[in-house]
Amino acid sequence: MVPPRVEVFDGPGDVGARVADLVAATVEARPDAVLGLPTGGTPGPVYAELVRRSAAGEIDLRRVRVFLLDEYVGLGRSHPRSYRATIARELTDAVGVPDDAVRGPVTDGDLDTACRAYDDAVRAAGGVDLQLLGIGRNGHIAFNEPGTPFELTTHTAVLSEPTRRDNARFFTDPAEVPTLAVTQGPALILEARRLVLVATGAAKADAVAAALEGPVSPECPASVIRRHPDAVVVLDRAAAGRLRPAPTPR
């Protein structure tokens, strides 16, 4: 196993710029690259920086293809809190990625069929070139909660109560947070050619330390990235705060 490369920066803005550089390098090498993207709070500065660079003519994302990591069951894609609507609002509409080049798991109809179709769609596109990942405070990646077998590809996941509570900040009524999602599983995530796990803020420090320094185990889903030959972890000082020895910020 090659250990992930860990890069530490002062704050979320520097992290956003560094991850935007990694996206830019991928897209320069391959203008129609397949990007695997998360939603949530962490990627906000990354997407803002990509939108800024795109408006300034510094990057051209119009030919990329996007696969979302996960999607809530029960909201429908036009719901403003759906991950499909979120990525359009925060990134893809603003940088000119056509609507039909952005795919997320289908979450209505027969979910098993939808899961297999999503695996097939990712693989038919040639696989993901660059997969960005956030991390939950309990170590989840995508909606793979602790205990999820590493062998799973796209599957239906029951959200843990801590995850639902963390995500309630995006909803006006906390009861609205769905209880189910369709998510890429660890095995499909590992098929990406490069993984970039991003974390900012002290609330993520324990999960980051468990992922990088604890056992590689389904109990900490993010630890699976240590089975990938090209994984980069981009942190701010606060999220790196429990790593030993403390890495030197760039």
Residues of this chain, 206-245, that bind ligand F6R according to CB under 6 A = none
Which of 40, 162, 214, 247 is the binder for ligand F6R (CB under 6 A)?
A: 40
- Phi and psi at 60, nearest 5°, equal -120, 110
Residues of this chain, 91-150, that bind ligand F6R according to CB under 6 A = 134-136, 140-142
Compute the distance between CA of residue 23 and CA of residue 208 in angstroms, rounded to an integer: 22
> Does residue 196 contact residue 161 with C-beta atoms inside 8 Å?
no
Nearest approach in angstroms of CB 38 to ligand F6R is: 4
Instruction: Count the neighbouring beta carbons within 10 Å of the beta carbon of residue 76.
Output: 12
Which of 42, 82, 148, 153 is the binder for ligand F6R (CB under 6 A)?
A: 42
Nearest approach in angstroms of CB 57 to ligand F6R is: 29
Question: Has 140 been annotated as catalytic?
Answer: yes
Residues near 209 by beta carbon (within 8 Å), at least 6 away in sequence: 242, 243, 244
> Does residue 73 contact residue 143 with C-beta atoms inside 8 Å?
no
Does 196 contact ligand F6R by CB under 6 A?
no
Nearest approach in angstroms of CB 149 to ligand F6R is: 17
Does 69 contact ligand F6R by CB under 6 A?
yes
Which of 4, 12, 16, 38 is the binder for ligand F6R (CB under 6 A)?
A: 38
Q: Taking Cα atoms as reference points, which of 229, 87, 67, 40 lies closest to residue 153?
A: 67
What residue ranges bind ligand F6R (CB under 6 A)?
38-42, 69-70, 83, 134-136, 140-142
